[in-house]
Copies of this chain bind each other. A is one copy, B any other.
């Protein structure tokens, strides 16, 4: 049970497929977590607010915290689709907590991955996040979406691979083991790739990323070349963020760690493993609201 003198903290990580909430205190850390429905502010703000509240209440109940004490809590919500301060204010004003800070889900991801330290994050999964965290402020490179950004990501690798396969099929460039292997996934039918591409989402392209990682590791020339190209983008992103040799760097996401082999050694001196996820980051940022008081 909760000591009534203790400040309650709430962290929320919300995205298009679901949200998660953590409730706890400074001394005990997270007391309980709960999962809930989707919470993308851009697609449906009303639903996001509803799902977030339900999920926070569920976490509080698990922790044995009465709902009517939550109005004294300090909360940090990291939500996908938050693009403007208007979005943040809209959601924050509907929360019944003492203090609510709403950000996009990148700052919570960065804080979680770096465990609250200053440093740099390259989170590479279906998409790409490159970020710097310095004394509680965040800087980003990219994050503009698959169609015009997300270089080095799984979706980017997969789409580049299919483009390459078709160039091989047409005889413009030479097949490698990797392009043969990927073409075989479409029964060597170029029309099937074309049809796939019409409705393919970033996640669909991303399903080919593991093959590319494996092919590159086995020395496939095209595989190595595309991973190198992705790594060059990541190095450029770190440079733009002010990274210097010796700074803390976390490579996270399904693909991040795989790029280590293609990054220059001076980037990897102070490499750390990911400390935690975006929910950890949200809870950590909520706790820092207490410290600021």
Contacts and interface: CB of A to CB of B under 8 A. Distances in A.
A200 interface: yes
Contacts of A149: 163, 166, 194
Given A83-B191, A191-B83, A237 B172 contact: yes
Contacts of A200: 147
Given A83-B191, A142-B166, A191-B83, A233 B172 contact: yes
A159 B144 CA distance: 13
A142 B172 CA distance: 9
Given A83-B191, A191-B83, A239 B145 contact: no
Nearest to A164: B148
A47 interface: no
A170 interface: yes
A236 B240 CA distance: 34
Contact of A193 (B142, B148, B163, B191): B148
Contacts of A291: none
A99 to B, nearest CB: 27
Contact residue range for chain A? Answer: 20 to 34
A171 interface: yes
Interface in A72-113: 83
A275 interface: no
Contacts of A135: none
A197 interface: yes
A261 interface: no
B170 A141 contact: yes
A159 B147 CA distance: 8
Contact of A194 (B144, B173, B190, B198): B144
A278 interface: no
Interface in A140-196: 140-142, 144-145, 147-149, 151, 159, 162-163, 166-167, 170-173, 190-191, 193-194
Interface of A: 83, 140-142, 144-145, 147-149, 151, 159, 162-163, 166-167, 170-173, 190-191, 193-194, 197-198, 200, 233, 236-237, 239-240
Given A141-B170, A145-B198, A170-B237, 12 more contacts: A83-B191, A141-B171, A142-B166, A142-B170, A145-B194, A147-B159, A147-B197, A147-B200, A148-B159, A148-B162, A172-B239, A172-B240
23 contacts: A83-B191, A141-B170, A141-B171, A144-B193, A144-B194, A145-B194, A147-B197, A147-B198, A148-B159, A148-B162, A148-B166, A148-B193, A148-B194, A148-B197, A149-B163, A149-B166, A149-B194, A170-B237, A170-B240, A171-B240, A172-B236, A172-B237, A172-B239
> Can you list the 3 inter-chain pairs with the closest CB atoms, starting with the nearest?
A147-B197, A171-B240, A144-B194
